Structure 1
């Protein structure tokens, strides 16, 4: 198969730019949502604090100037006339002040007056924060959940602003004024603040993103160009390596191997001219030994040629080539078991890399593992081809990392350059497990 000229590399898809822009847009939307939620929370807090402060002021004013001066001994004794006068004034204040409910408390927790008549005269335990207001002119306010015992008739309203104010009545006796305000004004104020803040915050961010978008696109295109250049360099590198391996294989085959093979076949001719005399026996033995040595060397060189430049690996030839590697390993001792498809569905370039992985792994099994069995598994996982070679040998020597083996280190570097990976680890149950991941879309010539 002729490797393509790297200069004819087609331009990769715009996936890099599209992915970068998509991520930028998604992050922008998420940022806008987070900022919007944060702005809404801030507006809620501002509106709530503002409403509570205003309610405190209104409650203190109503308690000190309206309600407390109307409370005297007659009110304390529940005189109907005094109670009616107090009620008339407080109800008018409720009508114009968005007040939903009012209560007047004694320090002992008895309700002197309430717009909810059934509560008048009842006694409840004052909370510590409320009890601390007795004898002072301070106020406290909060959003009430209306879960107290005296709130039974108010719970249908779900949420109210609750204000407590310390005061003194007309006779100088301490009391606590309580008022409940509607949250309608607070919610309206919250919306008003939100409408004022949110457009500014989100608008500013949108303008910033619009301004940054060209920069993001430019950076994405730079990444794309860098990726294109990396692919071109990779193709050039692997193509050069492939051509160099092919040249070395051709030179060995046409030169040294042919010369040695010819010499091997010439030796019997030379031996035929050697005398049969006993004194020539040494010469004949030497010629026979030389012929055997040359035979072994020629076989070794041919095996090396296959290693340097593997045979055709398309389709079923890949399994045949791996079977040949397994058979060579079996001759060294270990039994080899194969689990792989009958026909390779990946490209010739992927097959070459997978072949080299199996070759290096089985070489180590035969040379170093002292194993009885080895298992080779080649399968496709997602968009990668996974090559696993395991053995039941003695495993990695204590304190020796897989990177210490030159062959494995070179193989790992080659796979990393191609976008794959190599992992060597102890096998569960003993031995060693080598696992390589090879991208299924390798450039031609890898």
Structure 2
């Protein structure tokens, strides 16, 4: 080509309304199993979090109950007002009770606070006498006279001696000395039972879930297998109906073409012969005006015969069915050669033999439409048509090219922007078989078409 051309893609190779193959039953069940495993993994993570939170909530409640029992039954009976003033005997008496009856029950730390935040008792003696500001929950427990339980925030300064063991359960509630002085009783419980309980709950969830999913998979497998079989049978029936419809359409086109050929076409040919004979008769009798009118009638009849025969080829190209695609393409280019256009036709025999019947019809119709445009619009002196294999395009290796040296499209215009009906037909033909259709042109360099088709030998 003398200049670089810009190609416009009219059909991109996608098939309209493709029939997707059904998955194999084994593959479908395998996908179901993988999906079940994915669901199992997701639910396991979720159940682990849920089990941890549930176990923690239960442990906090248990710790609150334990703290209430210890406060009422163990600690408060031995409280003395002397603790408020640093009485050594009162401290030793309480410490003896705490170590004997509180610490052995999974309690890590015990503290007794004055309302101003001073620690008057702790089993860790280094804390005694230190003063820390009470937080909002501690103050609320004293004011509301209720028990508060939570997972301890060991970042506070008062917890400097409890930070090495990980999480702890913290419970505090008010207690009173014999004189009615209010203090805050606080214990820290071991968090290990929470983890143990969480694991037990998780095992229960996991076992139940695994059993349920496995049972569901076993129940669904035969149902899916049967469903795929029925879908396969339905698809097979659909394909048979489509083949039957195509065959019926082919037979109907053949019947219509035969009826037209044996009926109206023959009648018009006979009428043309009769009119031609009448022309000679009236001319011999000296009626030139009538002979002229009859000549016009004869020309109209012959034109109608030609149009009908062209229509017959459109409806049912007998030459394509009888002699093959190469011969049919030869018939298409013969009128061009008769008009003085130089035609270069090249068809690869191996390629034409490998095309399906539908593909041959598409190639024929695309070539006929393009050559018709050459006759009507281009004014070309040379046309080249080639049907060959193009190994550089592995997905669509069958290539039909039609090039002419005519006027080409006007600047800034393409058949697409002009909305040519013939171009829409070509585009639909290519899309019906999953072909790639491209066109390029420029003023003075002609029009160039490329139709790429899939090879029937490599179709899946």
TM-score normalised to structure 1 length = 0.65
Distance 1:441 1:168 in 2: 95
Contact between 1:103 and 1:179, CA under 8 Å: does it hold in 2?
yes
Of 67, 70, 80, the match for 1:72: 80
Q: Does 1:303 align with 2:310?
A: yes
Q: Aligned in 2, Cα 1:123/1:289: closer, same or farther, shift over 3 Å?
A: farther
Distance 1:98 1:341 in 2: 92
Q: Aligned in 2, Cα 1:173/1:135: closer, same or farther, shift over 3 Å?
A: farther
1:134 counterpart SS class: helix
Of 99, 110, 122, the match for 1:102: 110
Distance 2:90 2:180 in 1: 17
Give the alignment of 1:349-388 within 5 angstroms.
373-375=413-415
Give the alignment of 1:8-87 within 5 angstroms.
15-87=23-95
Q: Aligned in 2, Cα 1:292/1:53: closer, same or farther, shift over 3 Å?
A: same
Q: Does 1:325 align with 2:369?
A: yes
Q: Aligned in 2, Cα 1:161/1:313: closer, same or farther, shift over 3 Å?
A: farther
User: CA deviation digits over 1:328-378, x for unaligned, max 9?
Assistant: 35767699xxxx996589xxxxx9xxx9xxxxxxxxxxxxxxxx9544xxx
Give the alignment of 1:179-328 within 5 angstroms.
179-261=187-269, 263-264=271-272, 267-268=275-276, 270-275=278-283, 280-309=287-316, 311=320, 321-328=365-372
User: CA deviation digits over 1:237-293, x for unaligned, max 9?
Assistant: 22211222233234334554355356546654553444256x522322223222322
Higher relative contact order (CA 8 A, sep 6+): 2
User: CA deviation digits over 1:213-234, x for unaligned, max 9?
Assistant: 2222222222222222222222
Contact between 1:161 and 1:182, CA under 8 Å: does it hold in 2?
yes
Distance 1:197 1:21 in 2: 25
**Which position in structure 2 is the counterpart of 1:131?**
139
Where does structure 2 lack aligned partners over 5 or more consecutive residues?
1-19, 327-350, 353-359, 380-384, 391-395, 401-411, 435-452
The root-mean-square deviation of aligned C-alpha atoms, in Å, is 4.3
**Which position in structure 2 is the counterpart of 1:386?**
none
Aligned residues: 355
Contact between 2:112 and 2:183, CA under 8 Å: does it hold in 1?
yes
Q: Report deviation, 1:56.
A: 0.7
Q: Aligned in 2, Cα 1:309/1:156: closer, same or farther, shift over 3 Å?
A: farther
Where does structure 1 lack aligned partners over 5 or more consecutive residues?
1-11, 346-350, 356-371, 376-389, 396-406, 421-438
Q: Which has the larger radius of gyration?
A: 2
Distance 1:58 1:194 in 2: 25
**Which position in structure 2 is the counterpart of 1:165?**
173
Q: Report deviation, 1:116.
A: 4.0
Q: Report deviation, 1:18.
A: 3.7
Q: Report deviation, 1:55.
A: 0.6
Distance 1:29 1:341 in 2: 55
Contact between 2:103 and 2:109, CA under 8 Å: does it hold in 1?
no
Distance 1:96 1:341 in 2: 98
